[in-house]
Amino acid sequence: MNDLSASSRITYGAVPVQPAVVRRIRGLSDKALAWLFITPTMVLLLAINIFPLVWTIYLSFTNYRANRANAPVKWLGIDWYQTILTDPDIWAAMQVTAHFVFWTVVIETVLGFGLAFLIDKKFRGHGVWTTIILLPMMLSPAVVGNFWTFLYQPQIGLFNYVVAFLTGRPASSFQMLGDVTLSPWAIVIVDAWMWTPYVMLICLAGLRSIPDYIYEAAEVDRASKWRQFWSITLPMALPFIMLAVLFRGIENFKMFDMVNLLTGGGPGSTTEVASITLKRAAFESWRTGYSSAFAIILFVTVFGLANIYVKALNRVKSR
Amino acid sequence: MAEVEIRAVSKAFKKTQAVSDLSLTVGDGEFVALLGPTGAGKTTTLRLIAGLEMPDRGSIRIGGRDVTGDAPADRDVAFVFQQYSLYPHLTVFENMAFALRAPIRRVPEAEIRAKVREVACLLHIETKLDNKATQLSGGQMQRVAIGRALVRSPAIYLMDEPLSSLDAKLRGEMRLELKRIQTDLGATILYVTHDQTEAMTMASRIGVIEGGRLLQIGTPREIYENPINAHVAARLGQPAINLLPATLFAGAPRGAMTIGARTEHLTIARGGGDVQATVKRIEHLGDQSHLHLDLGGQPVVTLSDPEARLGPGDIVSLRLNKPLFFDADGGRVAA
Beta strands in B114-235 (DSSP E): 156-160, 189-193, 205-210, 213-218
Interior angle at CA B157, CA B155 and CA B162, nearest 5: 175
Residue among B33, B22, B8, B9 at smallest CA distance from B188: B33
Arithmetic mean of pLDDT over chain B: 87
Among A209, A210, A213, A221, the strongest candidate for a mutation testing the B interface, having the largest count of B CBs within 10 A, is: A221
Please name the residue of chain A whose CA is at the shortest distance from the CA of residue B156.
Answer: A220
What is the DSSP track for B186-211? T--EEEEES-HHHHHHH-SEEEEEET
CA atoms within 13 A on the CB side of B166: 23
CATH homologous superfamily of A79-317: MetI-like (1.10.3720.10)
Residues B18-29, mean pLDDT to the nearest whole number: 91
Question: In terms of C-beta density within 10 A (0-12 exposed, 13-18 middle, 19 or more buried), how is residue B227 classed?
Answer: buried
What are the residue ranges spanned by the domains of chain A?
Answer: 3-59, 79-317
Question: Which residues does chain B have within 8 Å of residue A216's beta carbon, measured at their own beta carbons?
Answer: 52, 72, 79, 81, 85
- Tell me which of B274 and A166 has the higher pLDDT: A166
The pLDDT value recorded for residue B1 is: 62
Residues B126-133, mean pLDDT to the nearest whole number: 88
The pLDDT value recorded for residue A6 is: 43
**B157 near A CB under 8 A:** no
Contact between A207 and A237 under an 8 Å Cβ cutoff? The reply is: yes
- Residue B293 C-alpha, separation from nearest chain A C-alpha, in angstroms: 43
Model pLDDT for residues B49-102, shown as the tens digit of each residue: 999 999 999 999 998 889 998 888 888 899 998 887 888 888 999 999 988 887
Alpha-carbon distances of A185 from A103, A256, B61, rounded to whole Å: 9, 16, 59
- Looking at the predicted structure, is the pLDDT value of residue B263 above 90? no
Task: State in Å, rounded, how far the first CA of chain A is from the last one.
Answer: 40
**B168 near A CB under 8 A:** no
- Give φ, ψ of B302 to 5 degrees: -145, 170
Distance CA A278, CA A171 (A): 35
Query: Binning pLDDT at 50, 70 and 90, where does residue B252 land?
Result: confident
Q: What is the pLDDT along chain A (319 residues), one digit of tens a residue?
A: 344 444 444 444 445 555 555 555 667 788 888 999 999 999 999 999 999 999 999 989 988 888 887 888 888 888 889 888 898 888 999 999 999 999 999 999 999 999 999 999 878 888 898 899 999 999 998 889 888 999 998 888 899 889 888 988 887 888 888 888 889 999 999 999 999 999 999 999 999 999 888 999 998 888 888 889 998 999 999 999 999 999 999 999 989 988 988 888 878 888 889 899 899 888 888 988 899 999 999 999 999 999 999 999 998 887 7
The pLDDT value recorded for residue A20 is: 59
Residues B19-45, mean pLDDT to the nearest whole number: 91
Cβ count near A226 (within 10 Å): 9
Model pLDDT for residues B102-119, shown as the tens digit of each residue: 777 678 888 899 999 988
Nearest to A213 among B73, B83, B105 (CB): B83
Question: Which residues does chain A have within 8 Å of residue B132's beta carbon, measured at their own beta carbons?
Answer: 319
**A213 near B CB under 8 A:** yes
The pLDDT value recorded for residue A2 is: 44
Helix (H, G, I), strand (E, B) or coil at A152: coil
Q: Residues 6 or more apart from A217 whose CB is under 8 A from it?
A: B79, B81, B85, B87, B148
Q: If contacts are CB pairs under 8 Å, which of residues 214-243 in chain A contact chain B?
A: 214, 216-224, 227, 231-232, 235-236
Question: Which residues does chain B have within 8 Å of residue A221's beta carbon, measured at their own beta carbons?
Answer: 98-99, 102, 148
CB contact under 8 A, A219 and B52: yes
The pLDDT value recorded for residue A23 is: 55
Q: Is the preceding omega at residue B239 within 30 degrees of 0, hence cis?
A: yes
Beta strands in B211-246 (DSSP E): 213-218, 242-245
Question: Which residues does chain B have within 8 Å of residue A232's beta carbon, measured at their own beta carbons?
Answer: 87
The pLDDT value recorded for residue A24 is: 57
Model pLDDT for residues B173-186, shown as the tens digit of each residue: 888 888 988 898 88
Among B44, B70, B77, B79, the strongest candidate for a mutation testing the A interface, having the largest count of A CBs within 10 A, is: B79
CB contact under 8 A, B88 and A236: yes
Among B53, B81, B94, the strongest candidate for a mutation testing the A interface, having the largest count of A CBs within 10 A, is: B81
- Tell me which of B217 and B123 has the higher pLDDT: B217
Query: What is the 8-class DSSP label of residue A230?
Result: I
The pLDDT value recorded for residue B33 is: 93
- Looking at the predicted structure, is the pLDDT value of residue B35 above 80? yes
